[in-house]
Protein backbone atom coordinates (compact mmCIF):
# COMPACT_ATOMS: atom_id res chain seq x y z
CA UNK A 1 0.00 0.00 0.00
CA UNK A 2 2.82 2.40 0.91
CA UNK A 3 4.61 1.77 -2.39
CA UNK A 4 1.36 2.30 -4.32
CA UNK A 5 0.84 5.66 -2.62
CA UNK A 6 4.47 6.54 -3.34
CA UNK A 7 3.83 6.76 -7.11
CA UNK A 8 1.49 9.80 -7.18
CA UNK A 9 3.40 11.48 -4.35
CA UNK A 10 6.66 11.01 -6.25
CA UNK A 11 5.19 12.65 -9.36
CA UNK A 12 4.06 15.60 -7.26
CA UNK A 13 7.43 15.76 -5.53
CA UNK A 14 9.41 15.79 -8.76
CA UNK A 15 7.22 18.55 -10.20
CA UNK A 16 7.91 20.83 -7.23
CA UNK A 17 11.54 19.73 -6.94
CA UNK A 18 12.27 20.41 -10.61
CA UNK A 19 10.47 23.75 -10.58
CA UNK A 20 12.41 24.85 -7.48
CA UNK A 21 15.78 23.94 -9.01
CA UNK A 22 15.03 25.72 -12.29
CA UNK A 23 13.67 28.81 -10.53
CA UNK A 24 16.67 29.13 -8.22
CA UNK A 25 19.14 28.51 -11.01
CA UNK A 26 18.10 31.91 -12.28
CA UNK A 27 17.75 33.52 -8.86
CA UNK A 28 21.23 32.54 -7.69
CA UNK A 29 22.81 33.72 -10.95
CA UNK A 30 21.20 37.12 -10.45
CA UNK A 31 22.42 37.19 -6.84
CA UNK A 32 25.92 36.01 -7.73
CA UNK A 33 26.59 38.36 -10.64
CA UNK A 34 24.74 41.44 -9.35
CA UNK A 35 24.77 41.42 -5.55
CA UNK A 36 27.78 39.36 -4.48
CA UNK A 37 28.61 36.52 -2.13
CA UNK A 38 26.19 37.26 0.70
CA UNK A 39 23.20 37.46 -1.60
CA UNK A 40 24.25 34.25 -3.34
CA UNK A 41 24.68 32.52 0.01
CA UNK A 42 21.21 33.65 1.09
CA UNK A 43 19.71 32.28 -2.13
CA UNK A 44 21.32 28.89 -1.52
CA UNK A 45 20.03 28.74 2.04
CA UNK A 46 16.48 29.56 0.90
CA UNK A 47 16.80 27.03 -1.93
CA UNK A 48 17.66 24.23 0.47
CA UNK A 49 14.91 25.21 2.88
CA UNK A 50 12.45 24.84 -0.02
CA UNK A 51 14.00 21.51 -1.04
CA UNK A 52 13.23 20.24 2.46
CA UNK A 53 9.64 21.39 2.00
CA UNK A 54 9.52 19.47 -1.28
CA UNK A 55 10.60 16.36 0.60
CA UNK A 56 7.76 16.95 3.06
CA UNK A 57 5.41 16.07 0.18
CA UNK A 58 6.69 12.50 0.55
CA UNK A 59 5.91 12.54 4.26
CA UNK A 60 9.59 13.07 5.05
CA UNK A 61 10.35 14.44 8.50
CA UNK A 62 13.60 15.85 9.83
CA UNK A 63 14.89 15.46 13.38
CA UNK A 64 17.93 17.42 14.51
CA UNK A 65 19.93 16.69 17.66
CA UNK A 66 22.46 19.44 18.34
CA UNK A 67 22.79 20.24 22.05
CA UNK A 68 25.26 23.10 21.63
CA UNK A 69 25.84 26.31 19.68
CA UNK A 70 28.58 26.80 17.14
CA UNK A 71 31.19 29.45 17.91
CA UNK A 72 31.43 32.54 15.78
CA UNK A 73 34.61 32.94 13.73
CA UNK A 74 35.50 29.29 14.29
CA UNK A 75 36.10 26.99 11.34
CA UNK A 76 34.85 23.41 11.45
CA UNK A 77 35.53 20.23 9.53
CA UNK A 78 32.19 18.42 9.51
CA UNK A 79 32.62 14.66 9.09
CA UNK A 80 29.45 12.77 8.14
CA UNK A 81 28.35 9.37 6.96
CA UNK A 82 26.65 9.45 3.55
CA UNK A 83 23.46 7.48 2.94
CA UNK A 84 21.83 9.38 0.10
CA UNK A 85 21.84 12.36 -2.25
CA UNK A 86 19.27 13.80 0.12
CA UNK A 87 21.80 14.22 2.91
CA UNK A 88 22.84 17.53 1.38
CA UNK A 89 19.77 19.83 1.79
CA UNK A 90 19.36 19.25 5.55
CA UNK A 91 23.09 19.71 6.09
CA UNK A 92 23.08 23.04 4.25
CA UNK A 93 19.98 24.21 6.10
CA UNK A 94 20.89 23.11 9.63
CA UNK A 95 24.53 24.20 9.30
CA UNK A 96 23.62 27.49 7.61
CA UNK A 97 25.25 29.65 10.30
CA UNK A 98 28.59 28.05 9.50
CA UNK A 99 27.77 27.81 5.76
CA UNK A 100 30.24 25.00 5.08
CA UNK A 101 31.70 24.12 1.70
CA UNK A 102 31.56 20.55 0.40
CA UNK A 103 33.84 17.93 -1.09
CA UNK A 104 32.00 16.54 -4.13
CA UNK A 105 32.62 14.57 -7.29
CA UNK A 106 33.35 16.54 -10.47
CA UNK A 107 30.36 15.05 -12.30
CA UNK A 108 28.06 17.22 -10.17
CA UNK A 109 29.63 20.36 -11.62
CA UNK A 110 27.57 20.32 -14.80
CA UNK A 111 24.08 19.60 -16.01
CA UNK A 112 22.07 20.01 -12.79
CA UNK A 113 20.06 23.24 -12.46
CA UNK A 114 20.99 25.28 -9.37
CA UNK A 115 23.26 22.62 -7.92
CA UNK A 116 25.98 22.65 -10.58
CA UNK A 117 26.22 26.45 -10.68
CA UNK A 118 26.53 26.64 -6.91
CA UNK A 119 29.19 23.94 -6.72
CA UNK A 120 31.27 25.49 -9.50
CA UNK A 121 31.23 28.92 -7.93
CA UNK A 122 32.99 28.39 -4.66
CA UNK A 123 30.74 26.12 -2.62
CA UNK A 124 32.75 22.96 -3.18
CA UNK A 125 35.95 21.34 -4.31
CA UNK A 126 35.02 18.99 -7.15
CA UNK A 127 37.34 16.01 -7.32
CA UNK A 128 38.00 13.27 -9.85
CA UNK A 129 37.52 10.03 -7.95
CA UNK A 130 39.29 8.16 -10.76
CA UNK A 131 42.47 10.09 -9.95
CA UNK A 132 42.94 9.71 -6.17
CA UNK A 133 46.35 11.39 -6.05
CA UNK A 134 45.09 14.54 -7.77
CA UNK A 135 41.89 14.44 -5.71
CA UNK A 136 43.88 14.55 -2.48
CA UNK A 137 45.94 17.47 -3.77
CA UNK A 138 42.78 19.35 -4.79
CA UNK A 139 41.30 18.83 -1.34
CA UNK A 140 44.50 20.08 0.29
CA UNK A 141 44.61 23.20 -1.91
CA UNK A 142 40.95 23.92 -1.20
CA UNK A 143 41.55 23.49 2.53
CA UNK A 144 44.40 25.99 2.40
CA UNK A 145 42.01 28.56 0.92
CA UNK A 146 39.41 27.83 3.59
CA UNK A 147 42.01 28.28 6.32
CA UNK A 148 42.73 31.83 5.14
CA UNK A 149 39.04 32.80 5.40
CA UNK A 150 38.22 30.81 8.56
CA UNK A 151 35.63 28.83 6.61
CA UNK A 152 34.15 25.38 7.26
CA UNK A 153 33.76 22.26 5.14
CA UNK A 154 31.76 19.02 5.01
CA UNK A 155 33.46 15.79 3.98
CA UNK A 156 31.99 12.30 3.53
CA UNK A 157 34.87 9.89 4.28
CA UNK A 158 32.98 6.92 2.84
CA UNK A 159 33.74 8.46 -0.54
CA UNK A 160 30.34 7.60 -2.00
CA UNK A 161 26.78 7.02 -0.86
CA UNK A 162 26.05 3.79 0.97
CA UNK A 163 22.38 3.79 -0.17
CA UNK A 164 21.67 1.56 2.82
CA UNK A 165 21.67 1.65 6.63
CA UNK A 166 25.06 -0.07 6.61
CA UNK A 167 27.93 2.45 6.36
CA UNK A 168 30.99 1.90 4.22
CA UNK A 169 34.49 2.01 5.75
CA UNK A 170 35.87 5.52 6.15
CA UNK A 171 38.71 6.44 3.80
CA UNK A 172 40.63 9.09 5.69
CA UNK A 173 43.10 10.46 3.11
CA UNK A 174 41.08 13.56 2.22
CA UNK A 175 40.23 14.26 5.85
CA UNK A 176 43.90 14.07 6.83
CA UNK A 177 44.74 16.59 4.09
CA UNK A 178 42.20 19.02 5.51
CA UNK A 179 43.49 18.53 9.05
CA UNK A 180 47.03 19.24 7.90
CA UNK A 181 46.18 22.62 6.37
CA UNK A 182 43.35 23.59 8.78
CA UNK A 183 44.93 22.87 12.20
CA UNK A 184 42.84 25.56 13.93
CA UNK A 185 39.58 23.98 12.81
CA UNK A 186 37.51 21.74 15.06
CA UNK A 187 36.25 18.31 14.06
CA UNK A 188 32.51 17.75 14.24
CA UNK A 189 31.03 14.32 13.62
CA UNK A 190 27.54 14.09 12.12
CA UNK A 191 25.46 10.93 12.11
CA UNK A 192 22.80 10.78 9.37
CA UNK A 193 20.13 8.12 9.68
CA UNK A 194 17.28 7.01 7.42
CA UNK A 195 17.96 9.18 4.36
CA UNK A 196 18.61 5.94 2.42
CA UNK A 197 14.89 5.19 2.78
CA UNK A 198 14.08 7.89 0.23
CA UNK A 199 15.70 5.75 -2.47
CA UNK A 200 14.67 2.36 -1.11
CA UNK A 201 12.81 1.63 -4.40
CA UNK A 202 15.32 3.45 -6.59
CA UNK A 203 14.38 6.98 -7.63
CA UNK A 204 10.86 6.22 -8.83
CA UNK A 205 8.86 5.87 -6.83
CA UNK A 206 10.53 7.65 -3.96
CA UNK A 207 10.33 6.20 -0.49
CA UNK A 208 7.70 7.86 1.68
CA UNK A 209 7.40 8.53 5.40
CA UNK A 210 11.12 8.62 6.21
CA UNK A 211 12.25 10.31 9.41
CA UNK A 212 15.71 11.62 8.56
CA UNK A 213 17.74 12.13 11.72
CA UNK A 214 20.84 14.26 12.06
CA UNK A 215 22.86 13.97 15.24
CA UNK A 216 25.64 16.55 15.50
CA UNK A 217 28.34 15.47 17.93
CA UNK A 218 30.24 17.97 20.10
CA UNK A 219 33.26 19.62 18.42
CA UNK A 220 36.73 18.40 19.28
CA UNK A 221 39.98 20.25 18.78
CA UNK A 222 42.46 18.75 16.32
CA UNK A 223 45.24 17.12 18.38
CA UNK A 224 48.88 17.68 17.59
CA UNK A 225 49.52 13.95 17.66
CA UNK A 226 47.54 10.69 17.75
CA UNK A 227 45.52 11.81 14.72
CA UNK A 228 44.84 8.20 13.73
CA UNK A 229 43.36 7.39 17.14
CA UNK A 230 41.22 10.53 17.09
CA UNK A 231 39.83 9.75 13.64
CA UNK A 232 39.12 6.13 14.54
CA UNK A 233 37.22 7.27 17.62
CA UNK A 234 35.31 9.81 15.53
CA UNK A 235 34.34 7.12 13.00
CA UNK A 236 33.14 4.85 15.80
CA UNK A 237 31.13 7.70 17.34
CA UNK A 238 29.43 8.55 14.03
CA UNK A 239 28.58 4.95 13.18
CA UNK A 240 27.67 4.00 16.74
CA UNK A 241 24.94 6.65 16.86
CA UNK A 242 23.01 5.25 13.88
CA UNK A 243 19.41 4.33 14.63
CA UNK A 244 16.56 2.89 12.60
pLDDT tens-digit readout, 151-205: 999 999 998 888 888 999 999 999 999 999 999 999 999 999 999 999 999 889 9
Predicted TM-score of the model (pTM): 0.94
Mean pLDDT of 125-139: 92
**C-alpha span between 97 and 75 (Å, rounded):** 11
| Contact by Cβ (8 Å): 75, 190 | no
User: Packing angle between helix 2-34 and helix 37-56, nearest 10 degrees?
Assistant: 170
- What does residue 81 show for φ and ψ, rounded to 5 degrees? -75, 165
Domains and CATH numbers, the chain: 60-240 (3.40.50)
- pLDDT of 61 > 70? The answer is yes
Amino acid sequence: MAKLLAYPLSVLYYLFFGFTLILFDGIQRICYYNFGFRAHRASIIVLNFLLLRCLNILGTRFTLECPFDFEKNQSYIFVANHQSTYDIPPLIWYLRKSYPKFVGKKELGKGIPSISFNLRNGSAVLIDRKNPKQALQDIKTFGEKLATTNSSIVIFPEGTRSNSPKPKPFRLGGLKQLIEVMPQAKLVGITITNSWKLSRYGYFPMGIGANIKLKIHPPIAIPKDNIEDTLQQLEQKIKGAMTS
